[in-house]
Amino acid sequence: MSAGVSTRVSRLVLTRLLIALITLIIVSFAVFFATALLPGDTASMLLGQAATPEAVEGLRKAMHLNDPAIFRFLRWINGLLHGDLGISYANNLPVAQLIGGRLVNTLKLAGITALISVPLALTLGVTAAMLRGTLYDRGLTIVTIGAVSVPEFMVATLAVLLFAVYLNWLPAISFTNQIKSFSDLLRAYAMPVVTLTVVVSAQMIRMSRAAVVETLDTPYIEMALLKGASRPRIVLRHALPNALGPIVNAVALSLSYLLGGVIIVETIFNYPGIAKLMVDAVATRDLPLIQTCAIIFCLGYLALITVADIIAILANPRLR
Amino acid sequence: MTKPASSTAFGARFGYRISPVGLTAAAVVLFWGAVALFAPRLVPYSVGEIVDADYFGPISRELWLGSDYLGRDVFSRILMGARYTVGISLAAVAIACICGVTLGMIAAITGGLPDTILSRFLDAMSSIPSKLFSLVVVAAVGSSIPVLIITLSVIYIPGAYRFARALAVNINTMDFVMVARVRGESLGYLIRAEILPNIVGPVLADLGLRFVFIVLLLSGLSFLGLGVQPPYADWGALVHENIGGLAFGAPAVIFPSLAIASLTISVNLLIDNLPTKIRDRGAA
């Protein structure tokens, strides 16, 4: 029996992965066409107003701009798969070179945020569910509703107002590359990380609280209560193992909010990451750069939500 | 959602229970709606007029919320900004919900291959992060108010579709729909007379939540300088243009943010405190 069931689970997981792959193809298609087919001739834009029609035509040929869109799409995808990300319009450097270090910076920021926010949010979420209905729980609910209802830039500006303007602990909006000591590092990362942590944790607290509350409402928890188990024991021994799947699912989904947050946070704090690079590329209409950044972001987002779904499948005891 | 325990006698008789929080939230939402409608008559100064010799001026009797980076009146600019923030978001949410809900109901009634294709495609659309999608569009076509409205509505069609489809699938299995089908009613009739009246409550509640997302996304874009373009300014753009005053804690940065927060938090609280009868009817 267990063999038959495990093939069912693996089939579900494989289906989910296949869906993710199809989605990725549709998404890259959408990104390519949104940027490549919309108005503005790339060749004449690159050469400027003084270019002769012959020069524009020559460049169009060289860049394969006269080919049907589907061929250009396939060539672009082929390049992506082989690590050839194209050349940035704005400064004539290979996109891969521009992105490399920036991507590491963004991942560093995201990693530190995750390291802080996941334990913090889970502790708050689970304890709020344990103490449901108390002042602590209601207070936390109000704070998290507030945090998810306001734009990310407001969290960032409030952090600046609080820590830089009123308390004078940290320098206002500035990110320096001159990191000499640990305290420099702390000062440089403090505000971006605090902002992102608030944005991501608010989601995570709400979702993990909901997951535990749902488990605590089940009959077997009532049974544990009736047999006289203590409150911490009910939550830790009985509820948490079953709520683990939904909680991990919530963590993965909440972390996908990092993507939106990171765009705002990198811009406001002038952090040299890939999101800042993309926002600048949008201002200069640097299409190859935008396309690559967009694909990287979509890939990260898709990976997170796919992982969340797969965990939900694996954690569902009815499928085991 | 668990039902509030106190919705007994009063609730049973009238079917609705009104909470003070919900009422306050509704008042704030109505207030901003009225401001958006009547802003040109309410503003003390013209939005483009430089009324203060100093920039980032403090709160004073003449300038209720201080002056901005050019010495213009922040209070007037916030009142006028309400028109763009509320107007663009309302237009976008209306388009998103009309398209999404109609498609969702059609998919639920038709079923089969069209349903599968539509669902798969819109699911793929929704796995593009919303900020990213709008950045790509703005990069490609530039930012203008019509572009913003269309982009924002396209981003939120998949969500509205998924929500409406899930509700409509439930209604679709009911006997009265079967009867109507057997009677030979058309697709349009089924949607209009059988499905829609039964899902309209939750759909409207969902529309409110989606409105909040749209306001947040629009503000975020404007904050990046890629949303509403000068000479117009919505609340996000007001924060963007006055961000230089942040280091002095200028009211010009703080109050537009507070305006956004008051609107979004109120809409969220209003939806949260809607009578369960409206909000949860038929919700899966």
Rounded to a whole number, what is the distance in Å from the CA of A3 to chain B's nearest CA? Answer: 30
**pLDDT tier at B96, thresholds 50, 70, 90:** very high
Higher per-residue confidence, A16 vs A51: A16
Tokens of B19: 């909470």
The rounded mean pLDDT for chain A is: 81
Angle at A246 between CA A241 and CA A252, to 5 degrees: 120
Tokens of A264: 């705002």
Which among A22, A158, A260 is the nearest to B129, CB-wise?
A: A260
**pLDDT tier at B278, thresholds 50, 70, 90:** low
| Range name among A291-295, B2-6, B81-85, B153-157 with the lowest pLDDT average | B2-6
Q: Is residue B7 part of a domain?
A: no
**pLDDT tier at B276, thresholds 50, 70, 90:** low
Report the distance separating Cα B82 and Cα B33, nearest Å: 8
The pLDDT of residue B105: 92
Q: Are B275 and B16 in contact (CB under 8 A)?
A: yes
The rounded mean pLDDT for chain B is: 84
> Burial code of A120-132, b = ≥16 C-beta within 10 A, e = fewer?
ebbebbbbbbbee
The pLDDT of residue B82: 92
Contacts of A145 (CB under 8 A, 6+ apart): B265, B268, B269, B272
Question: Residue A298 and residue B127: Cβ atoms within 8 Å?
Answer: yes
**pLDDT tier at B230, thresholds 50, 70, 90:** confident
Report the distance separating Cα A173 and Cα A291, nearest Å: 28
CATH number, domain containing residue B189 = 1.10.3720.10
Task: Indicate if the alpha-carbon torsion angle B271, B276, B277, B280 is positive or negative.
Answer: positive
Residue ranges of the alpha helices (H) in B19-69?
Answer: 20-42
Contacts A271 to B, Cβ<8 Å: none
Note the pLDDT tens digit of each residue in A58-97: 777 776 666 677 777 787 778 777 777 777 776 777 878 8
The pLDDT of residue A64: 67
Average pLDDT, stretch B260-280? 80
Tokens of A120: 């913090």
Q: Over pLDDT 90: what percentage of chain B?
A: 31
What residue type is B172 in one-letter code? Answer: N
Q: Is residue B4 part of a domain?
A: no
Contacts B130 to A, Cβ<8 Å: 260
Report the distance separating Cα A11 and Cα A7, nearest Å: 6
State how far Cα A211 lies from the chain centre.
21
Q: Are B228 and B148 in contact (CB under 8 A)?
A: yes
Note the pLDDT tens digit of each residue in A230-269: 888 888 888 888 888 888 888 888 888 888 788 888 888 8
Q: Is residue B207 part of a domain?
A: yes
Residue B67 backbone phi and psi in degrees, to 5: -120, 160
Residue A39 backbone phi and psi in degrees, to 5: -50, 160
Report the distance separating Cα B138 and Cα B228, nearest Å: 11
Tokens of A82: 């082989």
Say whether pLDDT at A119 is over 90: yes
Among A149, A200, A262, A297, most B C-beta atoms within 10 A, so best to mutate, is: A149
Tokens of B263: 């609107």
**pLDDT tier at B32, thresholds 50, 70, 90:** very high
Tokens of A35: 């940027």
Higher per-residue confidence, B14 vs B101: B101
Which among B120, B127, B220 is the nearest to A153, CB-wise?
A: B220
Contacts of B68 (CB under 8 A, 6+ apart): B55, B56, B74, B77, B238, B241, B242, B245, B252
Report the distance separating Cα A142 and Cα A159, nearest Å: 19
Among B127, B264, B272, most A C-beta atoms within 10 A, so best to mutate, is: B127
| Range name among A315-319, B21-25, B204-208 with the lowest pLDDT average | A315-319
Average pLDDT, stretch B164-182? 89
Q: Is residue B15 part of a domain?
A: no
Number of domains in chain B: 1
- Indicate the helix (H) or strand (E) that contains B150: helix B145-172
Contacts B257 to A, Cβ<8 Å: 150-151, 153-154, 157-158
Say whether pLDDT at B189 is over 60: yes
Largest CA distance in chain A: 87
**pLDDT tier at B10, thresholds 50, 70, 90:** very low
This complex has an ipTM of: 0.79
Q: Is residue B157 part of a domain?
A: yes
What string of H, E and C letters represents the secondary structure of chain A? Answer: CHHHHHHHHHHHHHHHHHHHHHHHHHHHHHHHHHHHCCCCCHHHHHHCCCCCHHHHHHHHHHCCCCCCHHHHHHHHHHHHHCCCCCECCCCCCEHHHHHHHHHHHHHHHHHHHHHHHHHHHHHHHHHHHHCCCCHHHHHHHHHHHHHHHCCHHHHHHHHHHHHHHHCCCCCCCCCCCCCCCHHHHHHHHHHHHHHHHHHHHHHHHHHHHHHHHHHHCCHHHHHHHHCCCCHHHHHHHHHHHHHHHHHHHHHHHHHCHHHHHHHHHHHHCCCCCHHHHHHHHHHHCCHHHHHHHHHHHHHHHHHHHHHHHHHHHHHCHHHC
Say whether pLDDT at B93 is over 90: yes
The pLDDT of residue A172: 59
Question: Residue A165 and residue B246: Cβ atoms within 8 Å?
Answer: yes
The Cβ of residue B21 has, within 10 Å, a number of other Cβ atoms equal to 13
Report CA Rg, chain B.
22
Say whether pLDDT at B8 is over 70: no
Note the pLDDT tens digit of each residue in A183-225: 766 777 888 898 899 989 998 998 889 888 888 888 988 888 8
Q: Over pLDDT 90: what percentage of chain A?
A: 8
Q: Are A243 and A211 in contact (CB under 8 A)?
A: yes
Question: Residue A283 and residue B125: Cβ atoms within 8 Å?
Answer: no
Higher per-residue confidence, B91 vs A232: B91
| Range name among A36-40, A168-172, B98-102 with the lowest pLDDT average | A36-40
The pLDDT of residue A177: 56
Average pLDDT, stretch B204-208? 88
Question: Residue A166 and residue B257: Cβ atoms within 8 Å?
Answer: no
Report the distance separating Cα B276 and Cα B205, nearest Å: 10
Question: Residue B127 and residue A301: Cβ atoms within 8 Å?
Answer: yes
Q: Are A91 and A84 in contact (CB under 8 A)?
A: no
Report the chain A residue with the minimal C-alpha distance to residue B226.
A283
Average pLDDT, stretch B40-52? 79
Q: Provide the domain limits for residue B236.
A: 40-272
Q: Over pLDDT 70: what percentage of chain A?
A: 84
pTM, two decimal places: 0.84
Q: Is residue B9 part of a domain?
A: no
B5: three-class secondary structure by DSSP: coil
Report the distance separating Cα A286 and Cα A292, nearest Å: 11
Q: Is residue B94 part of a domain?
A: yes
Average pLDDT, stretch B104-125? 87
What residue type is B86 in one-letter code? Answer: V
Higher per-residue confidence, A129 vs B247: A129
Q: Is residue B279 part of a domain?
A: no
